[in-house]
Structure 1
Amino acid sequence: MKNILALVVVGLAIAGCTPTQQGATIGAASGAAIGGIATGTTQGALVGAAIGGVAGALVGRVAENSDDCYYRDRYGRRYTARCPDGY
């Protein structure tokens, strides 16, 4: 029961974060768990947390700009702009 309560509290705390912060938090936690299990050492868990945190932040950063669309002008140059309403 205590584990479930702890997960609920952590989930509510993360809910108020930006997608970048959420991605970094989830990535770091996942990386620490995987690194700790794979190596069986604290150092492995720390390295996994660092790698997972950076990767999660990058994924979250991309998700933050999800309302942008990619376009090409008549010269073939690619640019981004806000998507039209309802798109």
Structure 2
Amino acid sequence: MNTRLVAAIFSAVTLVSTVSGCASRHTVGTVGGAALGGAAGHAISGGSTLGTVGGAAVGGVLGSEVSK
């Protein structure tokens, strides 16, 4: 597995774990979706900045909608 992908997933999980202790469910859903979307966008696009940012944006919107 790609080292950068593992680092991105680890960072996403760490971020969500940190935020979940002090934020509302909606905020955790949005941040978690953005983090996981960014990691997925990074993996799918081969590490391009546009793919990572696009994945984070889509993941944030989806996480926000799911956590309502």
Where 1:16 maps in the other structure, the secondary structure is coil
* Structure having the larger proportion of residues in strand: 1
| Equivalent in the alignment of 1:12 | 18
Give structure 1 stretches of 5+ with no counterpart: 62-87
Larger CA Rg, structure 1 vs 2: 1
| Equivalent in the alignment of 1:56 | 63
Q: What is the total number of aligned residue pairs between the two structures? A: 55
1:16 CA drift (Å): 1.2
1:44 correspondence with 2:60: no
Give structure 2 stretches of 5+ with no counterpart: 1-9
- Would you identify which runs of 4 or more consecutive aligned residues in structure 1 move more than 4 Å? none
Query: TM-score with structure 1 length normalisation?
Result: 0.56
- What is the aligned-residue identity percentage? 35
CA RMSD of aligned residues (A): 1.8
1:10 & 1:27 partners in 2: Cα distance?
9
Greater relative CO (CA pairs within 8 A, separation 6+): 2
